Amino acid sequence: MKLGNIGQMTFALGLAVIALLAIRVFVIPKSTPSSPHSALGQLHNIDLGKMPDFTNIEDIDTKKQSFFDYLRPAIEAQNQIIIHERQFLLAMIEQIDNGIGLNQTDTERLQSIINKYQYDIKSLTRTTLTPLLKRIDTIPVNMVLVQAANESGWGSSRFAVEGNNFFGQWCFSQGCGLVPLARDNGKNHEVAVFDSPKDSIIAYMINLNTNQAYRLFRSIRADLRAQKIKPTAEKLVFGLINYSERKDEYIDELLEMLKHNKSFLTGNQANV
């Protein structure tokens, strides 16, 4: 069947409409930006994969870069989660200031964050919620990486290999972890065991953001924020004075590691 000029134009327009509908149905939904909830889900579900055998990497430079590259994605993901939590808290404070009540969903999420950061609170007001901002804040990626390297012997320690523990975190109930071979008589602590290196990172970051021993760390960070100064690893590391019994010597060691491993850390573009 032959079509005249008008028929051909009508036919072409019909095909164009069908093509546009097809694009709308099959292409546009796939390219729609992720919602905040789906983005958070991706951050929570990040998988580092199997841990490399750092013990058998003989070349020192290769070991260092492999170590940093392996842990970095989980550290950055946790910082992004913290940023989401901080922004949500600020939004809730503003909402309260404006006399807008919190709905059930907001209240439940806010309570979940309060519980996560082990914050004792009896009412939801600007006065009670604002101090929580000291706890809900990011930790410099480079500081986390260097401390992990120090505490785990670049991923080669017994606790890292057998317990996925990269930060020497302790636990205090019998059977909760690995018993240190050189534990002093009378001590009952064990070194915690984690299901994955990511879980070790999460526990470490919560520890710095909640434990009374690191109040100085959080105060330094908050003061820098107030002065519009970026809280870098070199500035915040002094807040870890209680992390080790070696005190100042431990801080000096971390500072030296930050300095001497700068070339392996500069590839980190998200050092928040």
Q: For residue 30, what are the CA distances in angstroms to 24, 27, 40?
A: 10, 5, 18
The answer to whether residue 1 scores a pLDDT higher than 50 is: no
Q: Label residue 182 by pLDDT band (50, 70, 90).
A: confident
Give the 3-state DSSP-derived string for 91-140, with helices as H, strands as E and coil as C: HHHHHHHCCCCCCHHHHHHHHHHHHHCCCCCCCCCHHHHHHHHHCCCCCC
In the numeric block, the tokens 């969903």 are attached to 105
* Average confidence (pLDDT) over 95-109: 94
DSSP assignment letter at 166:
S
Over residues 36-45, the pLDDT tens digits come to 567 778 888 8
- The tens digit of pLDDT for each residue in 9-30 reads 444 444 443 443 343 334 334 4
Query: Coil, strand or helix: which one is 201?
Result: helix
At 267, the pLDDT band (50, 70, 90 cuts) reads: low
The residue assigned the tokens 């290999």 is: 161
| Edge-first strand listing for the sheet containing 170-171 | 170-171, 190-192, 177-178
Measured distance CA(189)–CA(174) in Å, rounded: 8
Given a cut of 50, whether residue 268 has pLDDT beyond it is no
The overall average pLDDT reported for the chain is: 87
Give pTM, 2 decimals: 0.82
CA torsion through residues 138, 139, 144, 146, sign: positive
Residue 172 in tokens:
């205090």
pLDDT at position 22, please?
Answer: 41
Q: CA quadruple 70, 71, 76, 77: dihedral positive or negative?
A: positive
What confidence score (pLDDT) does residue 185 get?
Answer: 72
CA trace torsion 272, 128, 89, 40 (10° rounding): 80
- Tokens describing residue 199: 């879980």
Bridge partners (DSSP) of residue 192 are 177
Contact 184, 198 (CB under 8 A): no
- pLDDT recorded at residue 38: 73
Distance CA 227, CA 198 (A): 32
Token pair recorded at residue 183: 């534990």
Q: Considering only CA atoms, which of 196, 165, 195, 198 is closest in space to residue 180?
A: 165
CA distance 228 to 246: 32
DSSP assignment of 172-198 equals -STTSEEPPTTPPTT---EEE--SSHH
Selection from 270, 272, 206, 261 nearest residue 66 by Cα: 261
Tens of pLDDT, residues 112-157: 999 999 999 989 999 999 999 999 999 999 999 999 999 999 999 9
Q: Which amino acid is at 97?
A: D
Please report the pLDDT score of residue 179 as a whole number.
83
And the tokens for 202? 């999460």
